[in-house]
Amino acid sequence: MASHRKSRTPGTRVAGIRTPALATAALTSVALLSQTAEAAPGEDRPSLEEVEKKVGDLYRQAESATEKYNAAKEKTGKQRKRVDTLLDDVAKRTQKLNEARSELGSYAAAQYRTGAGMPDTATFLLAETPQDIFDQRQVLDRMTGRQKAAVDDYVTQQTETMKKRQEATESLRTLTETQGDLKTAKATVQKKLADARELLSKLTAEEKARLAAIEKRKQEEAARKAAELARQQAEQEQAREEAAQQGGGASEGSGSTGSTETPPADSSYGTKAEKAIGFARAQIGKPYVWGATGPGSYDCSGLTQAAWKAAGVSLPRTTYDQVNAGTTVPVSQAQPGDLVFFYDDVTHVGIYIGNGMMIHAPKPGTYVREESIYYDGDSAIHSIVRPA
């Protein structure tokens, strides 16, 4: 299937993690399952960290396929509307063509009744294309003004009808292709999620408890990094306020990074961001469902799209497009309302709420929640985008 990956947005970029090739993930998962569940005592067994990484890779691959599904679904919907519009237009133009043909037929019948031999207008009814009509110049020369007007109308309707029929045929072909992309993406999501569930089902209760402990340590480290970012941002804000009080005002972007490229978000942005965050908070506790856009469930980009829509800002459907729908800013200058994107293939997004925290729809089996933007390590952060 064609790649939907977008080119990176210019700006500060935190290096993302590398994920293994999709083609080998399933086979590796099966092998890992076998080793984890059936290895004899004394044999090498994969560590829980390796199991955790494999499950995480599968979930990310499922999320990548989800964004491809979202893109294909959106394209399919638009293409279906186009096909319906074209078919409706063809029907209307065919009716007009039949009316024009009927008028030409009346002239042909009148000429036949007067014994004029092969009626001039009947010649045009036998023509297969508009060009056939224009090639018969000598016949046009013998026609009356009303006959010529009838022929002109017939030619126009025939030309437009043929054009719209061709457009409808091409659109139907495109619709078939996008429906195929949609089916492929859906199957990929389902397969990756099934592989992850199968892998986790083979763990013992003790291994699951240890896995939970690993996850807890990760969350604690993520919270520590979030607190550090909050401290840095507070220092930046204080420096800006002090500069303003001293009449400087020229060091709006000053702080720990020394950057002057990205000024703080203005008050109008803050008002919109407040509405977007308020909407996102109201969704906390609702389940992650891939492909969902609310109101009862969401996937990651469905949540951010809905949140900013509540603030009057229209975002594209997928992470691949949302990452290009604004201005990229450094992590150190993230403001509430900004979008936080993750991984090299830009397959996850959350909405920043300040103090190093975000609201996001994490993955299947979880719910919309507040979490540190470092939940998967700082290297997982792709970029921060200010959408309005």
Structure-block tokens of residue 134: 């224009």
Rounded Cα–Cα distance for residues 63 and 55 (Å)? 12
Structure-block tokens of residue 207: 């291994």
Rounded Cα–Cα distance for residues 300 and 124 (Å)? 60
Amino acid identity, residue 252? E
Question: Which of 385, 348, 378 has its CA nearest to residue 363?
Answer: 348
CA atoms in the 13 A half-sphere facing the CB of 209: 3
Distances (CA, A) of 279 to 276, 348, 365: 5, 19, 22
Query: If you write DSSP's letter for every residue of 310-325 in order, what string do you get?
Result: HTT----SSHHHHTTS
Rounded Cα–Cα distance for residues 103 and 326 (Å)? 57
Rounded Cα–Cα distance for residues 243 and 303 (Å)? 38
Active site residue 4: no
Amino acid identity, residue 70? N
Structure-block tokens of residue 281: 């908070």
Structure-block tokens of residue 60: 């990310």
* Catalytic residue of the set 60, 73, 272, 360: 360
Query: What is the pairing mode between strands 357-360 and 348-354?
Result: antiparallel
* Catalytic residue of the set 90, 300, 303, 381: 300
Question: Which of 241, 347, 344 has its CA nearest to residue 290?
Answer: 347
The DSSP H or E segment spanning 190 is helix 145-201
* Catalytic residue of the set 54, 75, 164, 348: 348
Catalytic sites, residue numbers: 300, 348, 360
